[in-house]
Amino acid sequence: MKLREAVSESTEHGRGPRDHAGAGAPAQFTHDGRTRDEVARLLLEQGPISAGAVAHTLGISPTAVRRHLDALLADGEADTRDAPARARRGRGRPAKLFLLTDAGRARFGHAYDDLAVSAIRFLAEHGGEEAVRRFAEHRVAKLVGPYRDTVAGQPDLERRAEALAGALSREGYAASTAEVGVGEQLCQHHCPVAHVAAEFPQLCEAETEAFAELLGTHVQRLATIARGDAACTTHVPAEDPQGRQAPTPNGGEPA
């Protein structure tokens, strides 16, 4: 599988405002805090991921990685799952993969969730479901609108998906694309409105519809953080030379 990460300048190489956190603190604590942020961000953007892969990507020792992963686990900010059978080598205990929990994702912003949920509940009570749907469509239009020409102007579906991932990353969604079978997968490793979308799935539905319109093809949402998955994953089926759409991974009809 070929992975093409599309991250914003603010997150590239883990650099960003958090590098300035801890000013005035002892150097060791400041360094540890930055490294733990780097580990957490990698779990956010690439999880589930092994401890060895974290150490290799960040260029730090396995011992240091385990220390930071153990701290994230102890704080409830990370969790583990067994690696798929196809990824295991030899016998013995299955390898562990690490990913962030909701508490861990909160490091990267779930601001004003309670206020947002209350506001949309009020909207639903007084304007009905149609008002919520229109709000969701308006929100996603404002989100992707500035990037419409850039995405739509790409010469093929693969590049449109990459451009959309880049746009989403600049808006805080830590997005990437991957070539999977006959098509692309667009993965959003963070969702700033996941807690709100858990109650109001219209936000996810409007987002999926906007992706289809921008990419110029039907897409299928396979997983969402709002439903407890590790990432929001959208399948973008390829088209054969006759323009027919390839089947979706689960054999179903495109969404």
Contact 107, 189 (CB under 8 A): no
| Whether residue 203 sits in one domain with residue 138 | yes
* 80 in the same domain as 156: no
Residue 191 scores a pLDDT above 50: yes
First to last CA, the chain: 24
**Same domain? 87 vs 132:** no
Question: Which residues, listed in sequence order, are joined to residue 176 by a DSSP beta bridge?
Answer: 5, 187
Whether residues 8 and 88 share a domain: the answer is yes
Tokens of 228: 């407890």
Residue 2 has pLDDT above 70, yes or no: no
Is the residue at 245 inside a domain? no
133 pLDDT more than 50: yes
Mark whether 152 and 39 lie in a shared domain: no
Print the domain residue range for 10. Answer: 2-108
Same domain, 86 and 124: no
Using the Cα atoms of residue 56, residue 60, residue 64 and residue 68 in order, give the sign of their dihedral.
negative
Whether residue 66 is contained in a domain is answered as yes
Give the model's pLDDT for residue 61. Answer: 93
Residues 66 and 152 in one domain: no
242 is a domain residue: no
Residue 13: which region, alpha, beta or left (left: phi > 0; alpha: psi -120 to 50)?
A: left
pLDDT tens profile 26-64: 454 456 678 888 999 899 888 899 999 999 999 999 999
3-state DSSP assignment of residue 187: strand
* Same domain (yes/no): 127, 230: yes
The DSSP element (H or E) to which 81 belongs, if any, is strand 78-82
**Could you read off the pLDDT of 210-251 as tens digits, one per residue?**
999 999 999 999 999 999 898 999 999 986 545 444 455 554
Whole-number average pLDDT of the chain: 81
Most confident range, picked from 18-22, 179-183, 250-254: 179-183
117 lies in a domain? yes
CATH (domain of 200): 3.90.1520.10
Least confident of 82-91, 118-127, 176-185: 82-91
How many domains would you assign to the chain?
A: 2
Q: Phi, psi at residue 192, to the nearest 5°? A: -65, -20
Same domain? For 118 and 89 the reply is no
Residue type present at position 114: D
248, part of any domain: no
Identify whether residues 117 and 59 lie together within a single domain: no
Residue 126's alpha-carbon distances to 38, 119, 129, 162, in angstroms, are 44, 11, 9, 39
